[in-house]
A and B are shown apart, each in its own frame.
Chain A
Amino acid sequence: MYRKILIATDGSDSSIESSRHGVKLAKSLGSDILVLYVINDMAISRVIAAMIRKGFAEEDLRKALKASAEKIVSEVCKMGEASGVQVEPLIKEGDPASRILDTARIEGVDLILMGSHGEGGITSKLIGSVAQKVLNWSSTPVMIVR
């Protein structure tokens, strides 16, 4: 059915749940998984600037971001290992929705799976802005897991 499923995660509780759903689906369909975390550099640029002013080294901050991203995707890799599903981790930088859409296209995935809200999710919003943009622009089927 699907050869490759792209799971977009941001490490939030709800995206951990949706990733779990994606791994189960991949297992039952025999699909491979690409798990993508996007470092949202726009959103954090101000925080980074403030921390640099406080004396933190930019390089260290970048390293910390990378490390946290790696931890998040490795969680999904572990879920895959536990279920016998092949998971390839990917970390990119930029606007999350754009990177998710680019990756889906470049990698030729058959399904994008993501949570309805991410970390920045004001839950009073009915659907998160990243999910909304992906839904608006994706030519690949999109599964939103709540």
Chain B
Amino acid sequence: MYDRILVATDGSAKSRVAVQHGVDLAKAVGAKVLGVYVVNEVVVASAVRQLGADKKDIEAKLQASGEKAVTEIKKMADEAGVAVETMVKSGAPANAIVDLARTEGVDLIVMGSHGESGVTKLLIGSVVQKVLYWATCPVLVVR
């Protein structure tokens, strides 16, 4: 059914639920998982501009939390016995996810309805909304 499933995370508890769902689905259909975290360049830029943060420093911090988040995906996949590959990218999250899905030729994107910055009042998070707009493959949204 699916050869490769892209599972996007931002390391939040909410996206962990989606990751587990994606891993379970990959196991059930015999797909490989591509676990992705995107270092949000917009967040980096505003931290530098508004808070006077050091660019290198903030990037390194986000990179580290990205590594941690994708390591968690790897762990879940390993536990489930699912083949997994992970990536930490940099960019605007939705764009990076959509681009990656296209260049890697994945068959499905799985993500949570809200991420870390999720104002829970919003019915659906802005990243997933944009991915739904622009993705050319099916998108599975997990709440």
- Which residues of A are at the interface with B, using a C-beta cutoff of 8 A? 1, 21, 24-25, 27-29, 111, 116, 126-127, 135-146
- Which residues of B are at the interface with A, using a C-beta cutoff of 8 A? 1, 21, 24-25, 28-29, 108, 113, 123-124, 132-143
Q: Are B1 and A145 in contact (CB under 8 A)?
A: no
Q: Which of A24, A25, A29, A141 contacts B141 (CB 8 A)?
A: A141
Q: Which of B1, B124, B132, B142 contacts A25 (CB 8 A)?
A: B1
Where chain A touches its partner, the secondary structure class is: mixed
Q: Which of A27, A127, A140 contacts B132 (CB 8 A)?
A: A127
Bound-state Cα–Cα, A140 to B25, Å: 15
Q: Which residue of chain B has the shortest Cβ distance to A145 in the bound complex?
A: B138
Which among A127, A135, A145 has the greatest number of chain B C-beta atoms within 10 A?
A135
Q: Which of A21, A111, A127, A145 contacts B133 (CB 8 A)?
A: A127
Q: Are B124 and A144 in contact (CB under 8 A)?
A: no
Q: Which of A21, A29, A137, A141 contacts B28 (CB 8 A)?
A: A29
Beyond the given pairs A21-B138, A116-B132, A141-B21, 14 more chain A to chain B contacts, judged by CB atoms under 8 angstroms and listed by A's residue number, are: A1-B24, A1-B25, A24-B1, A25-B29, A27-B1, A28-B1, A28-B28, A29-B1, A127-B133, A135-B113, A135-B124, A141-B142, A143-B138, A144-B141
